[in-house]
Chain A
Amino acid sequence: MEQVRYITEWFGRYDGQNIDDYIKLGGFETVRQLADRGIEATVAIIAESGLQGRGGAAYPTGIKLTQAREAIGERKFVVCNADEGEPGTFKDRELLKQNIYQVIEGMIVAGICSDAKEGIIYIREEYTWQHEAINDAIRQCRDRKVLGENVLGTGYAFDIRLFSGAGAYVCGEGFALCESLEGKPGRPRTKPPFVKQAGYLRLPTLVINTETLSAIASILRKGADSFKAYGTEISTGTKVISISGKVNKPGVYEIPFGLTISEIIDGFGGGMKDGSKGYFVQIGGASGGLLPVGMWNTRYTYEGLEAVGLSVGSGAIVVADETNDLRDYLKVIGEFFLHESCGKCTPCREGNRQLHFVLNNLAAGTADAADLKRYDSIMNVMKGGSLCGSGKTEVVPFLTARKYFPEAFRLEEAN
């Protein structure tokens, strides 16, 4: 199946580093157009396109920009969330590497539309190798007056700096990210106030995913209708996905919404690795749901996945085959969350601590009925009682496993 080249249109069309090549392709035109078109009309195009936040929360980007504009503060910020911490997700890496200027273009538009003058690219610690290239790109933008006091002669001021996280998964969460930016341990705050009102330095902060920013530039360049030509009525446009696991061609692909899981695996992932038999996929990252092979006819859309208790999440699709043991898989996810919980709130900190014991027993085949009761109780407390979205959604793989894989929870005869 052929990839869509919408957001990734200019991948490979230049070296990803030379700003002049990007400008030659038509780069930054949307910034100039913005000056003519006006902010409201620009935001209206984004709203019309139906674009939803690609970090995982799927918040309508048009509304997000409007709210960011309405927020009041002495200083306002746009933060490009390039924390990309969900295991199995590596599409932002490619968006930064192959077309950083489009991300910057999206940031400038978001900045002007939300009346923010300061942009920050919050990049995950593991992408240290990209720092030099990104800083170089920012320098080139300043040299060409794409960033600075008078962006491309539009009269708007906007500048960007790069900030590296320190390696905590939870820093992809808006408030934890803000705390981290402030030099503190990444621990989420309670809401309200929201990040958009009081985020970084308790000032209005628009935290927006790398892919969403990249999409903003593409949509403005090509029009809302061109975006809506892909996908379904609710899930408009395309999604940049990361496929990994037991497939022949793991990688980053831009796909239209609406394909089935099987179509994605076969059409883009190159089919199951060495023709093995599929077992399950995990969709959307470590906090994404598990879907058994029997349900791979589910459509990859916001609405299609929601109907089966899953979500698009970060765009990760991890594929497992019959040689994989679901109990081992759950144990590994549990270990990940035990390592990455920030520790602030009881449900997530203590829930993960206790879940770890249960998952160990389950994987070792020594779990008993009391373990399963604990499993269910922990899920209930974490889902209902956690402070932040991370704790609340971490339960999804465990709940979907319980729902769709009863065999994994069948207790051994001996017990």
Chain B
Amino acid sequence: MSVVTLTIDNQQVTVPAGTTVLEAARKAGVNIPTLCYLKGINEVGSCRICVVEANKSIQTACVHPVSEGMVVRTNTKRVRELRKGIFELIIANHNADCTICARNLNCELQRLGKELGVETTPYLKSYPEEEEIVSPTIVRDNSRCINCGRCVRVCDKVQEAGVLAFNGRSDKMFVSTFYDAPLEELSCINCGQCIVNCPVGALKEKDQTAEVWAVLNDPAKYVIVQTAPAVRAALGEEFGMPIGTPVTGKMAAALRRLGFKKVFDTDFAADVTIMEEGTELLGRVEKGGVLPMITSCSPGWIKFCEHNYPDLLDNLSTCKSPQNMMGALLKSHYAEMAGINPDDIVVVSVMPCTAKKFEVGREELEVDGRRDVDISITTRELAKMIKQADIDFTKLPDEKFDEFYGDSTGAAVIFGVTGGVMEAALRTLADILSGKDLQNVEYHDVRGLEGVREAEIEVKEGLKLKVALAHGGSNIKKLMDQVRSGKAPYHFIEVMACPGGCIMGGGQPIVSDQVRSEIDVAVERAKALYSEDEKAAEYRKSHQNPSVKRLYDEYLKEPNGHLSHKLLHTHYQKRG
């Protein structure tokens, strides 16, 4: 590989040819501010804030390639004045009422203002009237949008949903959709990747914290909370804890202090999912059902499939997602067990996901006229509630989930990372098929962050299970095109809509591009989940969860049985 040596602020740096000035500077520890830049995704040089002098001419560092002997200066008077001038122009067109913005204290523009030392803009404030455009999951506000295009490119390039686009030009240009149609009328999968990639507060989830507070304050309601695996891997970030810190115990403690009657773990339902989905897979393999079977836990993926691969709906597992299995069980089995009128129960889920809000509202996801889940909030919304309650999160003791529906295994907690559902399924399938309690439970072949992965796993002598995984829309399309062509040799496929899986979901704490350039957030959050799995020394396989066993023994009787079908399985719809 050919290399190039250049100097950046009098430091000599050697980097591979083709490197941008920005990446070279980052390598040299020189900070260059960015705004529209997202490595590998949005490298368009449109905001211009990263201007530097390269061989005395002004260039945008994020797109300008290095050359041999290049002399880069990142902080000359000319550069500083230009950056300030650009920032002043951006801020004039930005609704900067920071104190009442969802992104207050976690905004890349706000940070940039502080960094540049700009305290005023000489320009007339001129931005679109504040107007929240609300879909069932995502709220847009163009008064805060700075037209950086990160959301547009993530939607198009990473997720390949292609829902967002720039409309108009010049001062009339704005981020919008096809013919400015509402998101819910388009093939938006509600993944929320636009939100977590927005540098400012132009995009956020539909906030339902007020609804949760309202039911918590209603003495007639029995409010139960369930939390998805990935939430515990990231919630701490909202309280200044290092990325990758698992906060399961503190989260349980916080939820109890918020006033939830029962603090349960969606992990329980993840174990149930393995029972149901594993059984379904074996049934399809044995009886010649539709293969490959594809997981159905990710509501972003489900909608993606309904829009883009309606011909593959029969490949989807009929299992509801763990969130909805949990809700259906709480309002049936748990209500009966605890002697509570199911109509008094309100199930609130805390999810790393914005698509869960949409899933909760899917009309088919109810049993006997009772919604499986009543309100779904994101990790960010939970953090907001904890802050609203003035709970000092970092000082909370570690508490446990409540019994039975808070019981789970190491297999369940890894559901939150790409490869996790697959690994959990393999742990159980291998035991069932071999009739043994296998000691090796870690399937490293299915781990990792590669976009599309495949593996062949011997689950018993003579039976190799061919599996594949994909996460993130563009990767999913690669794999699904193969399935559609009939050339996919797999038995089982795990799909998660967000790149990295739920740990990187659209409802997770937002990490700035600057931090992301230093820390691989997905790797760190995944470590948190794997560490929780390893800590669960006693039970690391779903079928060994004693409470799940009891659930089947005393209530459901058998996986895929009559009651399971009523409570835990669903169907899908073709969408254009």
Contact = CB atoms under 8 A, between A and B. Distances in A.
Given A185-B169, A352-B170, A377 B46 contact: no
A385 B85 contact: yes
Contact of A381 (B46, B63, B64, B85): B85
Interface in A359-392: 370, 373-374, 377-378, 380-381, 384-387
Nearest to B171: A353
B60 interface: yes
A351 B126 CA distance: 12
A352 B93 CA distance: 12
Contacts, number: 104
A343 B168 contact: yes
A338 interface: yes
B92 A350 contact: yes
A349 B173 contact: yes
3 nearest A-B pairs in the assembled complex, by CB-CB distance: A343-B173, A350-B89, A381-B85
B4 interface: no
B44 interface: yes
A185 B172 CA distance: 14
A342 B167 CA distance: 11
A357 B169 contact: no
Nearest to B43: A190
A168 interface: yes
B455 interface: no
A385 B48 contact: yes
Contacts of A357: 123-124, 126
Given A347-B48, A384-B58, A387-B48, A377 B85 contact: yes
Nearest to B90: A346
A346 B47 contact: yes
B46 A345 contact: yes
B82 A385 contact: yes
Contacts of A342: 169-170, 173
Interface in A149-176: 168
A183 interface: no
Contacts of A48: none
B236 interface: no
B126 A354 contact: yes
Interface residues of A, number: 34
Nearest to B172: A343
Given A351-B89, A354-B89, A354-B123, A384 B78 contact: yes
B51 interface: yes
Interface in B80-136: 81-82, 85-86, 88-90, 92-93, 122-124, 126
Contacts of B171: 338, 341, 343, 349-350, 352-353, 356
B263 to A, nearest CB: 47
Contact of B170 (A339, A354, A370): A339
Given A189-B44, A353-B126, A377-B88, 17 more contacts: A168-B169, A185-B166, A190-B64, A338-B171, A342-B169, A343-B147, A346-B90, A349-B147, A349-B173, A350-B123, A356-B171, A357-B124, A377-B122, A381-B82, A385-B51, A385-B58, A385-B86
A263 interface: no
A139 interface: no
A340 B170 CA distance: 7
Contacts of A373: 122
Contacts of B342: none
Interface string B13-54: 000000000000000000000000000000011111101000
B225 to A, nearest CB: 44
B65 interface: yes
B98 to A, nearest CB: 19
Contacts of A386: 48
Contacts of B82: 380-381, 384-385
Interface centre among B45, B63, B169, B171 (most CB of A within 10 A): B169
Interface centre among A341, A346, A354 (most CB of B within 10 A): A346
Contacts of B65: 192
SS class of chain A's interface: helix, strand, loop or mixed? helix
Interface string A308-349: 000000000000000000000000000000111111111101
A168 to B, nearest CB: 7
Interface string A70-104: 00000000000000000000000000000000000
Nearest to B85: A381
Interface centre among B47, B60, B86, B88 (most CB of A within 10 A): B86
B170 A341 contact: yes
Contacts of A346: 46-49, 86, 89-90, 147
Nearest to A189: B44
15 contacts: A190-B60, A190-B64, A343-B168, A345-B45, A346-B86, A349-B171, A350-B90, A351-B89, A354-B92, A378-B89, A380-B81, A380-B82, A380-B85, A385-B51, A385-B58
Nearest to B88: A377
Contacts of A353: 93, 126, 170-171
A373 B168 CA distance: 29
Contact of A343 (B81, B124, B169): B169
Contacts of A192: 65
Interface centre among A189, A343, A352, A374 (most CB of B within 10 A): A343
Contacts of A349: 147, 170-171, 173
Contacts of B173: 342-344, 349
B173 to A, nearest CB: 3
B179 to A, nearest CB: 14
Contacts of A345: 45-48
A366 to B, nearest CB: 13
Contact of B166 (A168, A343, A350, A380): A343
A189 B172 CA distance: 20
B85 A354 contact: no
Contacts of A343: 147, 166, 168-173
A350 B173 CA distance: 11
Contacts of B85: 347, 377, 380-381, 385
Nearest to B49: A346
Interface centre among A338, A354, A356 (most CB of B within 10 A): A354
Contacts of A168: 169
B46 A387 contact: yes
Contacts of B78: 384
A384 B64 CA distance: 15
Interface string B65-85: 100000000000010011001
Interface centre among B47, B63, B123 (most CB of A within 10 A): B123
Contacts of B49: 346
Contacts of B93: 350, 353
A313 B60 CA distance: 26
Nearest to A168: B169
A338 B58 contact: no
A15 to B, nearest CB: 39
A380 B172 CA distance: 23
Contacts of B170: 338-343, 349, 352-353
Interface centre among B78, B85, B93, B124 (most CB of A within 10 A): B85
Contacts of A338: 170-171
B424 to A, nearest CB: 43
Contact of B63 (A190, A347, A384, A385): A190
B123 A374 contact: yes
A357 B60 CA distance: 28
Contacts of A354: 89, 92, 123-124, 126
A351 B122 CA distance: 12
Contacts of A189: 44
Contacts of A384: 51, 58, 78, 82
Interface string B163-187: 0001011111100000000000000
Nearest to B170: A341
A353 B126 CA distance: 8
A407 B236 CA distance: 62
B511 to A, nearest CB: 24
A370 B168 CA distance: 30
A399 to B, nearest CB: 15
Nearest to B44: A190
